[in-house]
């Protein structure tokens, strides 16, 4: 393990995990959970429980389950089919599903993130939809808006990161201006 690469988790995902997936058409549990931790560290136990509930009865082998899941994603015939596998079959929520797909297919997917929704001024309710068709339609609209919002960056991942960073910068600037007090708190 190259711990220096692992330290920078986002680079590890796109420089190590993505090429490995392209070669092997599957992921190990370690690489898969690196994606989950990158998106939402707090969700790793919930994701593990989802995977174990869907795995073979009585067999707790996250590595085998993840390999099977990611191999099915590699075999899926379309972007929509890949998202459907994660959301309908495996019961992932849109933020985690989109993060997984972004690492595996960074030219076709971007991470669904509330900070980006804030910058776009739209799409906040997409993650609350229950019907897959509505989730997919909403995600496609979100993806189209991300692509249009940052025309100076050709790579989808850079567009996404720029929007996230703009939201981060605005929030931190606002927090500093208010001395990190919420507007509804008394002094």
Helices 29-40/94-104 angle, 10° precision: 120
Q: What is the pLDDT of residues 16-29, one digit of tens each?
A: 999 999 999 999 99
Q: Which residue has the higher pLDDT, 185 or 34?
A: 34
Residues 124, 142: Cα–Cα separation, whole Å: 9
Q: What is the pLDDT of residues 46-75, one digit of tens each?
A: 999 999 988 765 567 999 999 999 999 999
Task: Report the share of the chain in percent with pLDDT over 90.
Answer: 86
pTM comes to 0.91
Residues 35, 106: Cα–Cα separation, whole Å: 13
Q: Which residue has the higher pLDDT, 142 or 3?
A: 142
Residues 137, 135: Cα–Cα separation, whole Å: 6
Write the DSSP string, 7-35. Answer: HSHHHHIIIIIHHHHHHHSS--HHHHHHH
Q: Quick one: pLDDT at residue 183?
A: 59
41 Cβ contact list (under 8 Å, min separation 6): none
**Segment among 4-8, 73-77, 126-130, 164-168 with least mean pLDDT:** 4-8
Which of 79-95 are b and which e, b meaning 16 or more Cβ less than 10 Å from the residue's Cβ? beebbbbbbeebebbbb
| Per-domain residue ranges of the chain | 1-109, 110-187
């Amino acid at each position: 393990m190259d711990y220096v690469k692992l330290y920078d988790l986002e680079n590890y995902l796109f420089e190590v995990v993505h090429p490995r997936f392209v070669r092997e058409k599957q992921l190990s549990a370690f690489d898969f959970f690196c994606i989950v931790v990158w998106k939402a560290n707090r969700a790793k136990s919930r994701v593990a429980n989802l995977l174990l509930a869907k795995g073979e009865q009585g067999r707790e082998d996250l590595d085998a389950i993840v390999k099977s899941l990611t191999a099915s994603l590699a075999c899926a015939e379309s972007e929509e089919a890949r998202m459907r596998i994660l959301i309908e079959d495996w019961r992932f929520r849109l933020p985690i599903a989109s993060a997984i797909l972004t690492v595996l297919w960074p030219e076709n997917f971007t991470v669904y993130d509330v900070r980006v929704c804030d910058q776009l001024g739209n799409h906040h309710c997409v993650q609350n939809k229950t019907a897959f068709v509505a989730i997919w339609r909403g995600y496609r609209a979100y993806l189209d808006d991300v692509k249009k919002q940052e025309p100076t960056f050709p790579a989808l991942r850079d567009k996404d990161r720029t929007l996230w960073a703009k939201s981060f910068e605005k929030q931190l600037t606002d927090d500093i201006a208010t001395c990190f007090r919420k507007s509804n708190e008394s002094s």
